A and B are shown apart, each in its own frame.
Chain A
């Protein structure tokens, strides 16, 4: 048991034993450390002004990820290197390459968002990828700038992020590596007393037994939601149990027929594996939150908090995902679609944890599609999220699965609509139209769309029909360039096709796990 956290700042190990359970990293930086380069713009993880980079070892290599320090809890920083804008340049004359590139490109105006951009670009710089505009868009989706219109910032990113990092951080990486390694241990962390504490157990057993004793404790994965309970709702959360140190919950297992995602796995950790299921999932994950959100946010958390507008449940349900839960020594497994009971109610007991998610991979004759519709393309909550899976035998739909987010109080399957689609001759446009008509009659039995400031119920309803049309048309081999504004699927198809030298036009007809 440790009663303190340790992290690396400016090449030194910092030990802290006075950590309040809900203290944010940003408050630590600005109020305690007085590193005021990092700014608070919104305190809810949406503007990116507070972005810092955290370094950690992953597969033996140091990886830097951008995070929103405003909603990250200080306690979660154990074992990491924290890099802020204040650390990058020793003087005005010796700027970091991303900083010089931003100055040269005239990429700051008011300058308030700039430190956040610097840190997102610092992380991109260290990602060892040669940046192109679409990669830059992805890395900057979580940083808002109100002055420049982004063009100069994107230009600076293209100039600086060449895929070959060469800065003070890369030069001292061996030392950092050793420091990070020295911080790895298997102690449970517990700071505080029984009334009020921050805890980060290192094993599943320790986690479970802690939750047995403190059933009301708040379980925190990446804090990308709980962070707002703290900064916006000012909720009192005296007992925080962070899942991030439980090694077994960090596993990602890729098998021929399924992918297993541990309950504490972040989006960033799961992205590569999940993208192998289908390019639409890759695209969806790209648009889910932002880099900063995906660096900390967990898929387990997205499920466990039961939001009707979470972006993960619909496609996981359609793929037939199961969740594994544990309380005490009791483990159980259930289909994800049964996990959501009603608005704000899930089939999870107090103190029960979500251990892992098991995602079956579609068979060769199963065609998957997923669409996210939101007011803004990037970093927005979906108005409608549609996920579809059609099993096709001899040109007919023999089995259909469909789940929509934003269309009911909980994410759930559309059993009636699904039934209406079975039997459709997929390649016949008239048959598809007839199936759509049949399906439309079932719509009200499956859906009661949300009506709010993001979108009206009428809009969601209309769009949900459109998405089914798109899915059917695309599966019937209509090119996505006719059907979608953001067209990464076709690009993908070309890439995969090139790699496999395959003439098959259906990416799903191939082994979806083929290496890319």
Chain B
């Protein structure tokens, strides 16, 4: 029996361990529901803590003539006002390219860019003071939208291309040709806990920072560089985040830097917690795109040539845009073979906040383009889009990606899609929907329905090789309790729970004996961001190795003390089996202390086989692929554009699940977040480059009623990673987000029912207004 979301239980295969494979609750579940889980803002503030609030100019682009902070300085409670000149050394908080000032000096690059920061006794005083600045600036008309950027802004960095064969020629030679342009909106992370950090000045040049961050090492490094002290003087710590989703990968650093700067200058602990509106204005989002596509295919919909041009709004600086856009290209095929193709990616500079990592990291936009083409082909040929999709899947002999690699394990996609079509009764429901739409049209009813089944194939690994590494530190104490620390951060995804399970499994002890501690740069150094879905893959392996070292030391000791061979020593159920005898785990750990055996070890893991070379466009960027499929059914009101998701079926492969409950949670949550991106979540900038949707009153993420009551999620039964990952599990953080493309596709088909063989010009997000626009366009074409 597969594990489903209405029956979440332990994995049922014979290899399930005492801890691994079990549907254990999140390690903080009880603390979450009691409100006792501590986030940065909840810690008691030491006496004398000061509060930092950033200030900005009301323009998007221009040169600052006067930055008059007199009134700010004189406001009640103000202790200091930080500007670019307050920064002792490097004024940069960028992840790679050195182009993100912590505080802008003379030039404003986007609306909301911090120019100064107030340090005051209370947060309220700092907020009030921050609004008193008198700023005179020469405003220049900003470049805001992608299209404007393409026309006038230019490229932030060189474009990049994958090319095979001569797609222009092969498309020309085709019986059927289609082309189009559509737009994909960005997305605000809307982590429930906003950006926050507190810095504690230490002795000499030491600085300790608590931050809600996915990347403590980067914060350590940036704070050290800003203050002009060695990395060794700075410690960054994170116990948990109230959500991250990529929005705290590079975007948490600026605030940690400001807190550290205030702490250094005042000698007092300094806290910064962004107001929600400031958070939404000042931090980057998912990239929005314009996609220009062209393809040629035969009468059965089989592709011969594909030409895809992606142009993304990167904002004013590079941030992670290079890797994000590369990933768009890596996923522009989704699960389909493009015999001859060109995948072009332009990275457009605009005078808007610098766009950044967001769950899927560019992949979703690439895949949406692929699925849009599939729908276009099916509608054009009046065929079942499921058939068109199946026909174009990678298959033997048709199994090389646009970047020249065989997508390892691709056959699984077909099996998953077939099974889901069967269990989800796709064909039967599609017929019923067709009947419904005919009846509605005849009766002048206002509703139409659509259904779609789309696949996901998502590459797992950082595409930048050196990021594919992790470290862990395991300490076992005389009483048999275990502490584990690793480089990954907990943002709700259950990473700590999975790591605890892995370590408990290694020692054969109950999970309750293993204590996870806050991620700290002084325990495990030089870590990568918790990102790219590989948190468990990398850190799980590192933790397992660290625990393995100690277990082997304990086994050696037991063998020596009890005069047996090492392989006669085993660990299970809190006991250590030594030959015929059995002793409690804590007895052995006590003996180890007495016998002067070290019970502390580090572990390190580097993903093997990473051979991608961006320069030569060759090699393997991914260790393996995660796969799944979703089938969504929707209803649309063609007179108002309102849309409701009626039913969703998902079948997803997580390999051999480390924790089915957590994996199901990632799938459901990812899907709903993706559905929000493609439906109600709309970022609106005005012509002056000001974000108009900077609060939950105007930016609408899904609520409970947007999720269909009929929501069936299953884990793929025979899942087992072919690669030797930790317990043969698969990454699950990002891939499920893209299952929501099925919703967008289903909406497309509901609208397409209004016309014959016309692709509705639907842009993402499919808000009621976008849907009604597509309906009107189709009707005017038809009329």
* Assembly CA distance A234 to B76 (angstroms): 15
* Assembly CA distance A459 to B767 (angstroms): 11
Q: Assess the B772–A463 pair: CB atoms within 8 A.
A: yes
Interface residue from B25, B33, B189 paired with A114 (Cβ < 8 Å): B33
Q: Assess the A483–B446 pair: CB atoms within 8 A.
A: yes
Chain B residues, Cβ within 8 Å of A133: 709
The minimal Cβ–Cβ distance linking B412 to chain A, given in whole angstroms, is 24
* Assembly CA distance A84 to B644 (angstroms): 34
The answer, yes or no, to whether A482 is at the interface (CB within 8 Å) is yes
Interface residue from A115, A137, A455, A484 paired with B769 (Cβ < 8 Å): A455
Tell whether A151 pairs with B707 under 8 Å between CB atoms, given A37-B34, A39-B39, A485-B643: yes
The minimal Cβ–Cβ distance linking B644 to chain A, given in whole angstroms, is 5
Chain A interface extent, by class = 35 or more
Q: Assess the A484–B637 pair: CB atoms within 8 A.
A: yes
Chain B residues, Cβ within 8 Å of A454: 698
Question: Which B-chain residue is minimally distant from A102 (CB atoms)?
Answer: B33
Tell whether A482 pairs with B33 under 8 Å between CB atoms, given A109-B665, A111-B240, A149-B707: no
Of A88-96, A322-330, A437-445, the segment with at least 4 beta carbons within 8 Å of chain B is A88-96
The answer, yes or no, to whether A113 is at the interface (CB within 8 Å) is yes
Q: Assess the B701–A111 pair: CB atoms within 8 A.
A: no
Chain A residues, Cβ within 8 Å of B618: none
Chain A residues, Cβ within 8 Å of B697: 44, 46, 381
The answer, yes or no, to whether A365 is at the interface (CB within 8 Å) is no
* Assembly CA distance A196 to B634 (angstroms): 55
0/1 string, B96-129, CB within 8 A of A gives 1:
0000000000000000000000000000000110
The answer, yes or no, to whether A38 is at the interface (CB within 8 Å) is yes
Q: Assess the A149–B673 pair: CB atoms within 8 A.
A: yes
* Assembly CA distance A115 to B35 (angstroms): 6
Most buried by B among A39, A373, A376, A377: A376
Interface residue from B189, B243, B446 paired with A482 (Cβ < 8 Å): B446
The answer, yes or no, to whether B37 is at the interface (CB within 8 Å) is yes
Q: Assess the A146–B192 pair: CB atoms within 8 A.
A: yes
Chain B residues, Cβ within 8 Å of A234: 127-128, 131
Question: Which B-chain residue is minimally distant from A456 (CB atoms)?
Answer: B769
Q: Assess the A144–B768 pair: CB atoms within 8 A.
A: no
Chain A residues, Cβ within 8 Å of B275: 43, 232
0/1 string, B696-735, CB within 8 A of A gives 1:
1110111111110101000000000000000000000000
Chain B residues, Cβ within 8 Å of A88: 34
Tell whether A375 pairs with B30 under 8 Å between CB atoms, given A103-B25, A110-B192, A112-B243: no
Chain A residues, Cβ within 8 Å of B44: 34
Interface residue from B8, B25, B34, B639 paired with A85 (Cβ < 8 Å): B34
Q: Assess the A89–B704 pair: CB atoms within 8 A.
A: no
The answer, yes or no, to whether A17 is at the interface (CB within 8 Å) is no
Chain B residues, Cβ within 8 Å of A112: 39, 191-193, 242-243, 492
The minimal Cβ–Cβ distance linking A437 to chain B, given in whole angstroms, is 16
Q: Assess the B276–A486 pair: CB atoms within 8 A.
A: no
The answer, yes or no, to whether B241 is at the interface (CB within 8 Å) is yes
Q: Assess the A114–B5 pair: CB atoms within 8 A.
A: no
* Assembly CA distance A103 to B768 (angstroms): 36
The minimal Cβ–Cβ distance linking A382 to chain B, given in whole angstroms, is 11
0/1 string, B587-615, CB within 8 A of A gives 1:
00000000000000000000000000000
* Assembly CA distance A470 to B767 (angstroms): 20
* Assembly CA distance A469 to B8 (angstroms): 47
Q: Assess the A149–B447 pair: CB atoms within 8 A.
A: no
Tell whether A137 pairs with B492 under 8 Å between CB atoms, given A110-B241, A111-B32: no
Chain B residues, Cβ within 8 Å of A108: 26, 28-29, 32-33, 492
The minimal Cβ–Cβ distance linking B693 to chain A, given in whole angstroms, is 5
The answer, yes or no, to whether A448 is at the interface (CB within 8 Å) is no
Question: Which B-chain residue is minimally distant from A91 (CB atoms)?
Answer: B34
Interface residue from B190, B243, B445, B661 paired with A483 (Cβ < 8 Å): B445
The minimal Cβ–Cβ distance linking A19 to chain B, given in whole angstroms, is 16
The answer, yes or no, to whether B635 is at the interface (CB within 8 Å) is yes
Most buried by B among A39, A134, A136: A39
The answer, yes or no, to whether B682 is at the interface (CB within 8 Å) is yes
Chain A residues, Cβ within 8 Å of B191: 110, 112, 146
Q: Assess the B25–A154 pair: CB atoms within 8 A.
A: no
Q: Assess the B704–A106 pair: CB atoms within 8 A.
A: no
Question: Which A-chain residue is minimally distant from B32 (CB atoms)?
Answer: A111
* Assembly CA distance A84 to B33 (angstroms): 11
Chain A residues, Cβ within 8 Å of B662: 106
Chain B residues, Cβ within 8 Å of A49: 192
Interface residue from A95, A467, A469, A486 paired with B33 (Cβ < 8 Å): A95
Chain B residues, Cβ within 8 Å of A53: none
Q: Assess the B446–A151 pair: CB atoms within 8 A.
A: no
* Assembly CA distance A137 to B33 (angstroms): 19
Q: Assess the A41–B192 pair: CB atoms within 8 A.
A: yes
Chain B residues, Cβ within 8 Å of A34: 44
Q: Assess the B33–A148 pair: CB atoms within 8 A.
A: no
Chain B residues, Cβ within 8 Å of A470: 446, 639
Q: Assess the A486–B769 pair: CB atoms within 8 A.
A: no
Interface residue from B642, B695, B696, B704 paired with A150 (Cβ < 8 Å): B704
Q: Assess the A47–B705 pair: CB atoms within 8 A.
A: no
Q: Assess the B703–A148 pair: CB atoms within 8 A.
A: no
The answer, yes or no, to whether A147 is at the interface (CB within 8 Å) is yes
Q: Assess the A148–B640 pair: CB atoms within 8 A.
A: no
Tell whether A39 pairs with B242 under 8 Å between CB atoms, given A86-B35, A118-B33: yes
0/1 string, B641-675, CB within 8 A of A gives 1:
11110000000000000000110110011111100
The answer, yes or no, to whether B558 is at the interface (CB within 8 Å) is no
* Assembly CA distance A482 to B644 (angstroms): 14
Q: Assess the A111–B492 pair: CB atoms within 8 A.
A: yes
The answer, yes or no, to whether A378 is at the interface (CB within 8 Å) is yes
Q: Assess the B692–A452 pair: CB atoms within 8 A.
A: yes
Q: Assess the B35–A140 pair: CB atoms within 8 A.
A: no
> Which A147-164 residues have a C-beta within 8 angstroms of B?
147-155
Interface residue from A42, A47, A453 paired with B693 (Cβ < 8 Å): A453
0/1 string, B364-375, CB within 8 A of A gives 1:
000000000000
The minimal Cβ–Cβ distance linking B87 to chain A, given in whole angstroms, is 27
The answer, yes or no, to whether A141 is at the interface (CB within 8 Å) is yes
Interface residue from A47, A89, A113, A486 paired with B644 (Cβ < 8 Å): A486
Q: Assess the A99–B33 pair: CB atoms within 8 A.
A: yes
Q: Assess the B700–A375 pair: CB atoms within 8 A.
A: yes
Q: Assess the B192–A39 pair: CB atoms within 8 A.
A: yes
0/1 string, A109-151, CB within 8 A of B gives 1:
1111111001000000000000001101110110111111111
Question: Which B-chain residue is minimally distant from A119 (CB atoms)?
Answer: B35
The answer, yes or no, to whether A269 is at the interface (CB within 8 Å) is no
* Assembly CA distance A443 to B244 (angstroms): 47
The answer, yes or no, to whether A167 is at the interface (CB within 8 Å) is no
The answer, yes or no, to whether A302 is at the interface (CB within 8 Å) is no
The answer, yes or no, to whether A36 is at the interface (CB within 8 Å) is yes
Chain A residues, Cβ within 8 Å of B432: none
Question: Which B-chain residue is minimally distant from A84 (CB atoms)?
Answer: B35
The answer, yes or no, to whether A347 is at the interface (CB within 8 Å) is no
Q: Assess the A376–B25 pair: CB atoms within 8 A.
A: no
Q: Assess the B32–A148 pair: CB atoms within 8 A.
A: no
Chain A residues, Cβ within 8 Å of B692: 452-453
Residues of A within 8 A of B (CB): 34, 36-44, 46-47, 49, 84-86, 88-89, 92, 95, 99, 102-104, 106, 108-115, 118, 133-134, 136-138, 140-141, 143-155, 232, 234, 373-381, 383, 452-456, 459, 462-463, 466-467, 469-470, 482-486
Other 12 A-B pairs with CB < 8 A, given A148-B669, A466-B446:
A36-B41, A39-B192, A47-B696, A86-B34, A88-B34, A103-B33, A106-B25, A110-B240, A118-B35, A149-B711, A154-B704, A383-B768
Query: Which 7 A-B pairs give the minimum distances between C-beta atoms?
Result: A37-B35, A110-B492, A112-B242, A111-B32, A149-B672, A466-B639, A109-B492
Q: List 27 A-B contacts (CB under 8 A).
A: A34-B44, A36-B41, A37-B34, A43-B275, A44-B276, A85-B35, A95-B30, A102-B32, A106-B25, A106-B661, A109-B26, A112-B192, A115-B32, A140-B703, A144-B701, A146-B243, A150-B703, A151-B668, A154-B707, A234-B128, A234-B131, A375-B768, A376-B680, A376-B702, A376-B706, A466-B640, A482-B443
